[in-house]
Amino acid sequence: MTKPAAEIGIVGLGVMGSNLALNIERHGHEVAAWERDKERARAFAAQEAAGKRIAVFEEAAEFVSALQRPRRILMMVKAGPPVDWTIEQFVPFLEPGDILIDGGNSFFQDTRRREAELAKRGLQFVGMGVSGGERGALHGPSLMPGGPRPAYDALRHVLEEIAAKTEDGPCVTYVGPDGAGHFVKMVHNGIEYGVMQLIAEAYDLMRRALGMEADAVAETFARWNQGPLQSFLIEITAKIFRVKDRETGRPLVELVLDRAEQKGTGKWTTQVALDLGVATPTINAGVEARLVSSLKSERLRAAKLLPGETLAVPEGDLLSDLHDALLAAEICAYAQGMNLIRTASDEYGWDVRLREIARTWKGGCIIRARLLDLLKGAYERHPQLENVLLDEEVARTIAPLQKAWRRVVIASAARGVSCPALAASLAYFDAYRTERLPQNLTQAQRDLFGAHTYERIDHPERGHIHTDWEEEAERAARSRDDSGLNDDDRNTGESSA
């Protein structure tokens, strides 16, 4: 009997699945592949896989039998019901100890459910975030696997070989049990939403406030990409503004409809942050900006009905200020995402190492950026750090950017240019560094209308207490009346006759 040759199996031969199969094969591993769409499977076998150590199968049983034990099957299918359907196609042919990996953008709670259900059958389930798009899948993605540790150990050598590489090593790490990997990928995408919105707002100010043409915008982003703002997203932004439409000769980006779509991971990040009680205003602004952009027909009507009013603002170097404001706001976006991961790790007992997350995001993924070195250093100094803004080096980096940041937010409001993410980031920063916030009033209001209680700053030992604010207010009014002063007397400072 011929011994199974394939070390790993790929299910789903869309762009991501086929490119991962080619990546794995290029690193010296034989691959078995299966695709529900038989025409796509045959086309892949005849074209991309031709002459390579990739065997394409049309039957699930034959596919499984071609895999070495323990079987390792990486599923690259659409999140949701397709994942459950795919699992059921292979479970009848698997044995205890075999490993199923979901490399799609599944919701982490679905991953937790699947991992628990498959564990009852003796199967190991890994939820793995994969970032980098089609080029990353082919040349080296950032990988975020979560699930049983033994399953990761069985996959580690392959994952480290195919992952992106930086001076800090391969961009993959064991994130934690059950849904940890997919949670971290979800937050990665949430940060992506926030940072993309910040960049879009910077461009909008360049265009509408500074009147810059596409070539000048491209040159600016290319220059910024040589300094502390260096990142994949800044790099591709510069490239986008250099592309001219072949039909009209105009910058192609100016012909793109201003209605951004979304696949749901940003929305999940916002929803889960609310569930866990974590503030993520920059990420929220990125999600909400896409929602507003979808109202194109309404915005066209509103543009005619609601003319904007602008104010004069002090003259200054807005372009230079934009650089600093963008850097400061991006730091806040990453800080919010990392804080969300830390909170979830505590909630679910995942023991996620944030230093490792920052390291694995340095290469391959969409949000790779130079500032991740700053974050990584913060977690090296303080592994249990509640928020990177509390790190001394991060504080020294962001503090000098404040004046420029504030000038940009003022300028955007004065000129009527919507910059929700830049403004939300600054508000987050200011709230986080404020020793006493006005929520003492909020809590007093809650106690008045709902008897929700409050705590006293001068008597913490009393715990949660309740005051009848209406009665106390009436008593204060009676005391005022009894003093013999009326409003006119008090206004003039004279006593009544």
Query: Considering only CA atoms, which of 19, 59, 1 is closest in space to residue 35?
Result: 59
Separation of CA 137 from chain center:
19
267 in active site: no
Distance CA 185, CA 101 (A): 14
The sign of the dihedral angle between the CA atoms of 274, 279, 283, 286 is positive
Mapped to the 3 state alphabet, what secondary structure does 281-307 carry?
HHHHHHHHHHHHHCCHHHHHHHHHHCC
- Letter for the amino acid at 263? K
Distance CA 236, CA 291 (A): 23
- Letter for the amino acid at 351? D
Please answer whether residues 372 and 361 qualify as being in contact, where contact means their C-beta atoms are separated by less than 8 angstroms.
Answer: yes
Catalytic choice (7, 35, 192, 356): 192
Scan for tokens 């490792």, then name that residue: 356
Catalytic choice (30, 35, 185, 267): 185
Please answer whether residues 331 and 394 qualify as being in contact, where contact means their C-beta atoms are separated by less than 8 angstroms.
Answer: yes
Query: Considering only CA atoms, which of 56, 118, 132, 129 is closest in space to residue 90?
Result: 118
Q: Does the bond joining 281 to the residue before it have cis omega, within 30 degrees of 0?
A: no
Query: Considering only CA atoms, which of 389, 300, 376 is closest in space to residue 336?
Result: 389
Angle between helices 318-348 and 265-276 (to 10 degrees): 60
At 6, give phi and psi (nearest 5°). -75, 130
The sign of the dihedral angle between the CA atoms of 419, 423, 424, 429 is positive
SS3 label, residue 225? coil
185 in active site: yes
Give the residue numbers marked as catalytic. Answer: 185, 192
